[in-house]
Protein backbone atom coordinates (compact mmCIF):
# COMPACT_ATOMS: atom_id res chain seq x y z
CA UNK A 1 0.00 0.00 0.00
CA UNK A 2 1.09 3.58 -0.64
CA UNK A 3 2.47 5.53 2.26
CA UNK A 4 0.05 7.51 4.44
CA UNK A 5 0.64 11.27 4.28
CA UNK A 6 -0.12 13.45 7.28
CA UNK A 7 -0.94 17.14 7.54
CA UNK A 8 0.03 18.38 11.01
CA UNK A 9 -1.80 21.48 12.34
CA UNK A 10 0.32 23.02 15.06
CA UNK A 11 3.96 22.70 16.04
CA UNK A 12 3.88 23.65 19.70
CA UNK A 13 4.55 21.37 22.66
CA UNK A 14 2.42 18.46 21.46
CA UNK A 15 3.09 18.97 17.74
CA UNK A 16 6.83 18.81 18.39
CA UNK A 17 6.31 15.54 20.27
CA UNK A 18 4.34 14.11 17.33
CA UNK A 19 7.17 14.95 14.91
CA UNK A 20 9.73 13.31 17.23
CA UNK A 21 7.71 10.10 17.60
CA UNK A 22 6.94 9.79 13.89
CA UNK A 23 10.61 10.37 13.11
CA UNK A 24 12.23 8.26 15.84
CA UNK A 25 9.71 5.39 15.84
CA UNK A 26 9.18 5.15 12.07
CA UNK A 27 10.56 1.62 11.79
CA UNK A 28 8.32 0.33 14.60
CA UNK A 29 5.26 2.13 13.19
CA UNK A 30 5.87 0.75 9.69
CA UNK A 31 6.26 -2.76 11.10
CA UNK A 32 2.94 -2.56 12.95
CA UNK A 33 0.98 -0.92 10.13
CA UNK A 34 2.61 -2.38 7.03
CA UNK A 35 3.06 1.07 5.54
CA UNK A 36 5.02 4.27 6.13
CA UNK A 37 3.38 7.24 7.85
CA UNK A 38 5.08 10.48 6.90
CA UNK A 39 4.47 14.16 7.50
CA UNK A 40 3.72 16.07 4.29
CA UNK A 41 2.84 19.54 5.57
CA UNK A 42 2.82 21.38 8.90
CA UNK A 43 0.56 24.39 9.54
CA UNK A 44 2.28 27.05 11.69
CA UNK A 45 1.85 30.75 12.43
CA UNK A 46 5.48 31.63 11.63
CA UNK A 47 7.63 29.52 9.29
CA UNK A 48 10.81 31.29 10.44
CA UNK A 49 10.38 30.60 14.17
CA UNK A 50 13.16 28.57 15.81
CA UNK A 51 11.89 25.08 16.73
CA UNK A 52 12.86 22.49 19.35
CA UNK A 53 12.90 19.81 16.69
CA UNK A 54 14.69 19.42 13.37
CA UNK A 55 12.16 19.75 10.58
CA UNK A 56 12.26 20.01 6.80
CA UNK A 57 11.56 23.70 5.98
CA UNK A 58 9.55 22.62 2.93
CA UNK A 59 6.95 21.07 5.26
CA UNK A 60 6.06 24.40 6.86
CA UNK A 61 3.18 26.58 5.68
CA UNK A 62 0.90 29.27 7.05
CA UNK A 63 -1.92 28.34 4.66
CA UNK A 64 -4.45 25.82 5.98
CA UNK A 65 -5.61 24.96 2.44
CA UNK A 66 -2.21 23.41 1.74
CA UNK A 67 -3.28 20.72 4.21
CA UNK A 68 -7.06 20.40 4.11
CA UNK A 69 -7.36 20.72 0.31
CA UNK A 70 -4.22 18.81 -0.58
CA UNK A 71 -5.21 15.61 -2.45
CA UNK A 72 -1.99 13.89 -1.33
CA UNK A 73 -2.78 14.23 2.38
CA UNK A 74 -4.77 11.39 3.97
CA UNK A 75 -4.97 12.37 7.66
CA UNK A 76 -5.09 15.74 9.42
CA UNK A 77 -3.53 15.74 12.90
CA UNK A 78 -4.78 18.80 14.80
CA UNK A 79 -2.81 19.86 17.89
CA UNK A 80 -3.03 23.66 17.59
CA UNK A 81 -6.04 24.26 19.85
CA UNK A 82 -8.79 26.83 19.44
CA UNK A 83 -12.47 26.22 18.85
CA UNK A 84 -14.35 28.11 16.13
CA UNK A 85 -11.60 28.62 13.53
CA UNK A 86 -10.35 25.09 14.12
CA UNK A 87 -13.89 23.77 13.78
CA UNK A 88 -14.18 25.35 10.32
CA UNK A 89 -10.79 23.95 9.31
CA UNK A 90 -11.71 20.40 10.36
CA UNK A 91 -15.14 20.66 8.72
CA UNK A 92 -13.45 21.50 5.43
CA UNK A 93 -10.97 18.66 5.89
CA UNK A 94 -13.80 16.16 6.44
CA UNK A 95 -15.69 17.38 3.37
CA UNK A 96 -12.44 16.78 1.48
CA UNK A 97 -12.39 13.19 2.81
CA UNK A 98 -9.52 13.67 5.25
CA UNK A 99 -9.45 11.60 8.43
CA UNK A 100 -8.95 13.55 11.67
CA UNK A 101 -6.85 13.00 14.78
CA UNK A 102 -7.17 15.71 17.42
CA UNK A 103 -6.07 16.42 20.99
CA UNK A 104 -8.53 19.32 21.23
CA UNK A 105 -10.95 18.63 24.09
CA UNK A 106 -12.36 22.19 23.94
CA UNK A 107 -13.40 21.70 20.32
CA UNK A 108 -14.73 18.17 20.82
CA UNK A 109 -16.77 19.15 23.89
CA UNK A 110 -18.47 21.95 21.95
CA UNK A 111 -18.67 20.61 18.37
CA UNK A 112 -17.70 16.96 18.73
CA UNK A 113 -21.06 15.35 17.95
CA UNK A 114 -21.55 17.46 14.81
CA UNK A 115 -18.02 16.67 13.58
CA UNK A 116 -18.46 12.97 14.28
CA UNK A 117 -21.70 12.90 12.26
CA UNK A 118 -20.02 14.79 9.41
CA UNK A 119 -17.13 12.32 9.48
CA UNK A 120 -19.53 9.39 9.17
CA UNK A 121 -21.30 11.06 6.23
CA UNK A 122 -17.93 11.35 4.46
CA UNK A 123 -16.70 7.86 5.40
CA UNK A 124 -13.98 9.39 7.57
CA UNK A 125 -12.73 8.70 11.07
CA UNK A 126 -12.18 11.10 13.96
CA UNK A 127 -10.02 9.91 16.83
CA UNK A 128 -9.58 12.10 19.91
CA UNK A 129 -8.23 9.90 22.71
CA UNK A 130 -5.45 12.42 23.41
CA UNK A 131 -8.02 15.09 24.33
CA UNK A 132 -8.64 13.56 27.77
CA UNK A 133 -5.96 12.75 30.36
CA UNK A 134 -2.93 13.03 28.06
CA UNK A 135 -1.13 9.70 27.93
CA UNK A 136 -3.90 7.68 29.62
CA UNK A 137 -5.90 5.72 26.99
CA UNK A 138 -9.21 6.27 28.79
CA UNK A 139 -11.43 7.08 25.78
CA UNK A 140 -10.25 4.04 23.86
CA UNK A 141 -10.71 1.91 26.98
CA UNK A 142 -14.34 3.05 27.22
CA UNK A 143 -15.09 2.61 23.51
CA UNK A 144 -13.18 -0.66 23.03
CA UNK A 145 -11.89 -2.39 26.16
CA UNK A 146 -15.06 -1.86 28.20
CA UNK A 147 -17.47 -1.78 25.26
CA UNK A 148 -19.41 -4.86 26.40
CA UNK A 149 -20.05 -3.49 29.90
CA UNK A 150 -22.61 -1.01 31.23
CA UNK A 151 -20.68 1.86 32.78
CA UNK A 152 -22.34 3.06 35.97
CA UNK A 153 -19.91 5.70 37.19
CA UNK A 154 -16.74 7.53 36.19
CA UNK A 155 -14.86 9.52 38.80
CA UNK A 156 -11.49 11.09 38.25
CA UNK A 157 -8.82 13.74 38.43
CA UNK A 158 -8.66 15.00 34.85
CA UNK A 159 -6.87 18.33 35.28
CA UNK A 160 -3.20 18.29 36.24
CA UNK A 161 -2.95 22.01 37.09
CA UNK A 162 -5.58 21.92 39.82
CA UNK A 163 -4.24 18.65 41.19
CA UNK A 164 -0.75 20.18 41.41
CA UNK A 165 -2.16 23.22 43.26
CA UNK A 166 -4.22 21.16 45.73
CA UNK A 167 -1.29 18.79 46.35
CA UNK A 168 0.97 21.72 47.25
CA UNK A 169 -1.72 23.35 49.42
CA UNK A 170 -2.24 20.09 51.28
CA UNK A 171 1.35 18.85 51.64
CA UNK A 172 3.07 22.19 52.27
CA UNK A 173 0.26 24.19 53.92
CA UNK A 174 0.49 26.94 51.29
CA UNK A 175 -2.32 29.29 50.26
CA UNK A 176 -3.99 29.12 46.84
CA UNK A 177 -2.51 32.34 45.42
CA UNK A 178 1.12 31.47 46.17
CA UNK A 179 0.81 27.93 44.79
CA UNK A 180 -0.89 29.22 41.64
CA UNK A 181 2.00 31.61 41.07
CA UNK A 182 4.49 28.78 41.53
CA UNK A 183 2.55 26.60 39.08
CA UNK A 184 2.63 29.40 36.51
CA UNK A 185 6.38 29.88 37.00
CA UNK A 186 6.95 26.14 36.42
CA UNK A 187 4.71 26.05 33.36
CA UNK A 188 2.03 23.84 34.96
CA UNK A 189 -0.52 26.68 34.81
CA UNK A 190 -1.31 29.11 32.01
CA UNK A 191 -0.84 32.88 32.35
CA UNK A 192 -4.66 32.99 32.40
CA UNK A 193 -5.50 29.96 34.58
CA UNK A 194 -9.29 30.49 34.55
CA UNK A 195 -10.14 27.43 32.47
CA UNK A 196 -8.21 25.19 34.86
CA UNK A 197 -8.94 26.63 38.30
CA UNK A 198 -12.64 27.27 37.60
CA UNK A 199 -13.10 23.66 36.48
CA UNK A 200 -13.96 24.42 32.83
CA UNK A 201 -11.15 22.30 31.37
CA UNK A 202 -12.18 19.33 33.52
CA UNK A 203 -15.85 19.84 32.58
CA UNK A 204 -15.02 19.59 28.88
CA UNK A 205 -13.20 16.32 29.47
CA UNK A 206 -16.06 14.92 31.57
CA UNK A 207 -18.47 15.78 28.75
CA UNK A 208 -16.47 13.59 26.37
CA UNK A 209 -16.20 10.76 28.91
CA UNK A 210 -19.91 10.85 29.76
CA UNK A 211 -20.93 10.80 26.09
CA UNK A 212 -18.89 7.67 25.48
CA UNK A 213 -19.78 5.94 28.73
CA UNK A 214 -23.54 6.52 28.67
CA UNK A 215 -24.15 6.69 24.89
CA UNK A 216 -25.98 10.00 25.20
CA UNK A 217 -25.50 13.42 23.65
CA UNK A 218 -24.45 15.29 26.79
CA UNK A 219 -23.55 18.95 26.28
CA UNK A 220 -21.00 21.03 28.17
CA UNK A 221 -23.80 23.10 29.69
CA UNK A 222 -25.22 19.91 31.25
CA UNK A 223 -22.18 19.70 33.54
CA UNK A 224 -22.39 21.34 36.97
CA UNK A 225 -19.07 23.08 37.60
CA UNK A 226 -17.40 24.47 40.74
CA UNK A 227 -13.70 25.38 40.70
CA UNK A 228 -11.04 25.41 43.41
CA UNK A 229 -10.57 29.15 43.96
CA UNK A 230 -12.71 29.10 47.12
CA UNK A 231 -10.75 26.34 48.86
CA UNK A 232 -8.83 27.63 51.88
CA UNK A 233 -6.07 26.17 53.99
CA UNK A 234 -8.65 25.91 56.80
CA UNK A 235 -10.91 23.75 54.61
CA UNK A 236 -7.98 21.44 53.89
CA UNK A 237 -7.03 21.27 57.57
CA UNK A 238 -10.57 20.48 58.75
CA UNK A 239 -10.98 17.86 56.03
CA UNK A 240 -7.65 16.28 57.01
CA UNK A 241 -8.63 16.11 60.68
CA UNK A 242 -11.75 14.17 59.66
CA UNK A 243 -9.75 11.77 57.49
CA UNK A 244 -10.24 13.34 54.05
CA UNK A 245 -8.21 14.82 51.18
CA UNK A 246 -9.72 17.52 48.93
CA UNK A 247 -9.41 16.97 45.16
CA UNK A 248 -11.09 18.54 42.14
CA UNK A 249 -13.07 15.54 40.95
CA UNK A 250 -15.05 15.01 37.78
CA UNK A 251 -18.00 12.68 38.32
CA UNK A 252 -20.37 11.14 35.79
CA UNK A 253 -22.93 8.63 37.01
CA UNK A 254 -25.96 6.88 35.57
CA UNK A 255 -28.92 5.32 37.34
CA UNK A 256 -32.10 4.02 35.73
CA UNK A 257 -31.46 5.94 32.52
CA UNK A 258 -30.76 9.31 34.15
CA UNK A 259 -27.30 10.83 34.39
CA UNK A 260 -25.44 13.36 36.49
CA UNK A 261 -22.19 15.00 35.39
CA UNK A 262 -20.27 17.42 37.61
CA UNK A 263 -16.85 18.84 38.38
CA UNK A 264 -16.37 20.07 41.93
CA UNK A 265 -14.05 20.02 44.94
CA UNK A 266 -14.65 16.68 46.63
CA UNK A 267 -13.52 15.09 49.87
CA UNK A 268 -12.06 11.59 49.53
CA UNK A 269 -10.89 9.32 52.36
CA UNK A 270 -7.10 9.44 52.70
CA UNK A 271 -6.84 5.78 51.69
CA UNK A 272 -8.89 6.17 48.49
CA UNK A 273 -6.75 5.59 45.34
CA UNK A 274 -7.65 9.00 43.89
CA UNK A 275 -6.65 10.74 47.14
CA UNK A 276 -3.12 9.41 46.59
CA UNK A 277 -2.74 10.92 43.10
CA UNK A 278 -0.23 13.75 43.44
CA UNK A 279 0.94 16.81 41.54
CA UNK A 280 0.18 17.01 37.80
CA UNK A 281 -0.83 13.35 37.46
CA UNK A 282 -4.32 12.28 36.36
CA UNK A 283 -6.35 9.23 37.29
CA UNK A 284 -9.78 8.00 36.22
CA UNK A 285 -11.80 5.51 38.22
CA UNK A 286 -14.42 3.55 36.20
CA UNK A 287 -17.15 1.38 37.68
CA UNK A 288 -18.82 -1.06 35.31
CA UNK A 289 -21.76 -3.34 36.06
CA UNK A 290 -19.78 -6.43 35.02
CA UNK A 291 -16.11 -5.52 35.43
CA UNK A 292 -16.51 -3.75 38.77
CA UNK A 293 -13.90 -1.11 39.60
CA UNK A 294 -10.94 -0.24 37.39
CA UNK A 295 -8.54 2.70 37.57
CA UNK A 296 -6.40 4.37 34.90
CA UNK A 297 -3.41 6.41 36.07
CA UNK A 298 -0.66 8.39 34.35
CA UNK A 299 0.61 11.77 33.18
CA UNK A 300 -2.28 14.01 32.23
CA UNK A 301 -0.37 16.38 29.98
CA UNK A 302 3.05 17.11 28.55
CA UNK A 303 4.66 16.89 25.15
CA UNK A 304 5.53 13.20 24.88
CA UNK A 305 2.64 11.60 26.83
CA UNK A 306 0.03 13.51 24.80
CA UNK A 307 1.96 13.02 21.56
CA UNK A 308 2.03 9.28 22.27
CA UNK A 309 -1.76 9.26 22.47
CA UNK A 310 -2.00 11.34 19.27
CA UNK A 311 0.25 8.99 17.29
CA UNK A 312 -1.61 5.96 18.66
CA UNK A 313 -4.85 7.50 17.34
CA UNK A 314 -3.11 8.18 14.03
CA UNK A 315 -2.09 4.53 13.82
CA UNK A 316 -5.69 3.50 14.48
CA UNK A 317 -6.84 5.73 11.62
CA UNK A 318 -4.23 4.18 9.33
CA UNK A 319 -5.32 0.64 10.27
CA UNK A 320 -8.90 1.50 9.30
CA UNK A 321 -7.74 2.99 5.98
CA UNK A 322 -5.84 -0.21 5.17
CA UNK A 323 -8.80 -2.40 6.14
CA UNK A 324 -11.28 -0.24 4.24
CA UNK A 325 -13.50 0.31 7.28
CA UNK A 326 -13.05 4.04 7.86
CA UNK A 327 -16.09 6.04 8.89
CA UNK A 328 -17.72 3.32 10.96
CA UNK A 329 -16.41 4.27 14.40
CA UNK A 330 -19.14 6.84 15.17
CA UNK A 331 -22.36 5.41 16.57
CA UNK A 332 -25.44 7.61 16.96
CA UNK A 333 -26.25 8.15 20.67
CA UNK A 334 -28.31 5.18 21.81
CA UNK A 335 -30.30 6.95 24.50
CA UNK A 336 -32.14 10.23 24.86
CA UNK A 337 -30.35 12.53 27.30
CA UNK A 338 -32.05 12.56 30.69
CA UNK A 339 -30.44 14.50 33.52
CA UNK A 340 -31.07 13.87 37.19
CA UNK A 341 -32.96 16.50 39.18
CA UNK A 342 -31.54 17.70 42.49
CA UNK A 343 -33.84 15.36 44.42
CA UNK A 344 -32.36 12.42 42.47
CA UNK A 345 -28.69 13.18 43.22
CA UNK A 346 -27.56 11.46 46.42
CA UNK A 347 -24.23 11.92 48.18
CA UNK A 348 -22.59 12.82 51.47
CA UNK A 349 -21.62 16.43 52.24
CA UNK A 350 -19.01 18.24 54.31
CA UNK A 351 -20.58 21.42 55.75
CA UNK A 352 -18.62 24.13 57.57
CA UNK A 353 -20.16 27.13 59.35
CA UNK A 354 -19.49 29.68 62.08
CA UNK A 355 -22.16 30.01 64.79
CA UNK A 356 -22.73 31.66 68.17
CA UNK A 357 -21.08 29.64 70.91
CA UNK A 358 -24.00 29.74 73.33
CA UNK A 359 -26.68 27.51 74.81
CA UNK A 360 -29.44 26.65 72.37
CA UNK A 361 -27.39 27.04 69.17
CA UNK A 362 -27.03 23.33 68.56
CA UNK A 363 -30.72 22.81 69.23
CA UNK A 364 -31.60 25.28 66.46
CA UNK A 365 -29.16 23.66 64.07
CA UNK A 366 -30.52 20.23 64.92
CA UNK A 367 -34.09 21.34 64.23
CA UNK A 368 -33.15 22.45 60.70
CA UNK A 369 -31.46 19.19 59.85
CA UNK A 370 -34.13 17.06 61.55
CA UNK A 371 -36.85 18.77 59.50
CA UNK A 372 -34.92 17.93 56.33
CA UNK A 373 -34.36 14.34 57.57
CA UNK A 374 -30.57 14.80 57.56
CA UNK A 375 -28.34 12.84 59.94
CA UNK A 376 -24.59 13.05 60.47
CA UNK A 377 -21.65 10.68 60.34
CA UNK A 378 -19.12 13.12 61.85
CA UNK A 379 -19.30 16.41 63.79
CA UNK A 380 -16.39 18.63 64.87
CA UNK A 381 -16.51 21.89 66.87
CA UNK A 382 -13.63 24.30 67.43
CA UNK A 383 -13.33 27.94 68.58
CA UNK A 384 -14.42 30.40 65.90
CA UNK A 385 -12.53 33.30 64.35
CA UNK A 386 -14.13 35.87 66.66
CA UNK A 387 -14.99 35.93 70.36
CA UNK A 388 -18.12 34.06 71.34
CA UNK A 389 -18.31 31.98 68.17
CA UNK A 390 -17.52 28.39 67.25
CA UNK A 391 -16.74 26.71 63.96
CA UNK A 392 -18.92 23.69 63.36
CA UNK A 393 -17.91 21.09 60.77
CA UNK A 394 -20.27 18.25 59.85
CA UNK A 395 -20.21 15.30 57.46
CA UNK A 396 -23.70 14.10 56.59
CA UNK A 397 -24.89 10.65 55.79
CA UNK A 398 -26.06 10.29 52.18
CA UNK A 399 -28.69 12.91 51.31
CA UNK A 400 -30.14 14.44 48.15
CA UNK A 401 -28.74 17.67 46.79
CA UNK A 402 -32.20 19.19 47.26
CA UNK A 403 -32.08 18.38 50.97
CA UNK A 404 -28.73 20.19 51.16
CA UNK A 405 -30.07 23.26 49.32
CA UNK A 406 -33.14 23.43 51.57
CA UNK A 407 -31.12 23.10 54.78
CA UNK A 408 -28.53 25.73 53.73
CA UNK A 409 -31.29 28.23 52.98
CA UNK A 410 -32.84 27.67 56.42
CA UNK A 411 -29.48 27.84 58.20
CA UNK A 412 -28.67 31.19 56.60
CA UNK A 413 -31.88 32.64 58.04
CA UNK A 414 -30.96 31.67 61.63
CA UNK A 415 -29.67 34.53 63.80
CA UNK A 416 -27.18 32.18 65.54
CA UNK A 417 -25.40 31.47 62.23
CA UNK A 418 -22.71 34.08 61.59
CA UNK A 419 -21.62 32.70 58.21
CA UNK A 420 -21.85 29.62 56.07
CA UNK A 421 -18.20 29.05 55.20
CA UNK A 422 -18.11 26.12 52.78
CA UNK A 423 -19.68 22.85 51.74
CA UNK A 424 -18.20 20.08 49.59
CA UNK A 425 -19.22 16.73 48.20
CA UNK A 426 -17.86 13.60 49.94
CA UNK A 427 -17.17 10.48 47.85
CA UNK A 428 -15.42 7.13 48.07
CA UNK A 429 -16.87 5.67 51.26
CA UNK A 430 -19.31 3.17 49.70
Q: Which residues are catalytic?
A: 205
Could you tell me where the DSSP H helices lie in 34-71? 65-68
Q: How far, in Å, are 246, 376, 407 from residue 380 at the CA level?
A: 17, 11, 18
Q: Is 168 left (phi over 0), alpha (psi -120 to 50) or beta?
A: alpha
Q: Is the separation of the CB atoms in 306 and 135 below 8 Å?
A: yes
Q: Is the separation of the CB atoms in 30 and 314 below 8 Å?
A: no
Distance separating alpha carbons of residues 201 and 93, to the nearest angstrom: 26
Q: Is the separation of the CB atoms in 70 and 46 below 8 Å?
A: no
| Number of other CB atoms surrounding residue 98 within 10 Å | 24
First to last CA, the chain: 53
H or E segment at 237? helix 233-241
State the greatest distance between any 2 C-alpha atoms of the chain, in Å, as a whole number: 84
Q: Three-state secondary structure along 245-295?
A: EEEEEEEEEEECCEEEEEEEEEEEECCCHHHHCCCCEEEEEEEECCCEEEE
> How many residues can be counted in the chain?
430
Amino acid sequence: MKQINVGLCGLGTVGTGVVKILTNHQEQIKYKLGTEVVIKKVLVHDVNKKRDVEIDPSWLTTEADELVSNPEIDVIVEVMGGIEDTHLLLEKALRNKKHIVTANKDLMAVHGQQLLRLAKENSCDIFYDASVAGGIPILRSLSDGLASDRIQKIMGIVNGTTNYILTKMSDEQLDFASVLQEAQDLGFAEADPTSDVEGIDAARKMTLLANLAFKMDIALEDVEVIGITGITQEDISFADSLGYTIKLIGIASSHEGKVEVSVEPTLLPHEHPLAMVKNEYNAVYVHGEAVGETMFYGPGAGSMPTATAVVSDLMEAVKNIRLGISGNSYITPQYQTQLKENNEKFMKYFIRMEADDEAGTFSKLTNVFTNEKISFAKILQLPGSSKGTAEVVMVTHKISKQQLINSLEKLKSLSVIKRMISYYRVEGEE
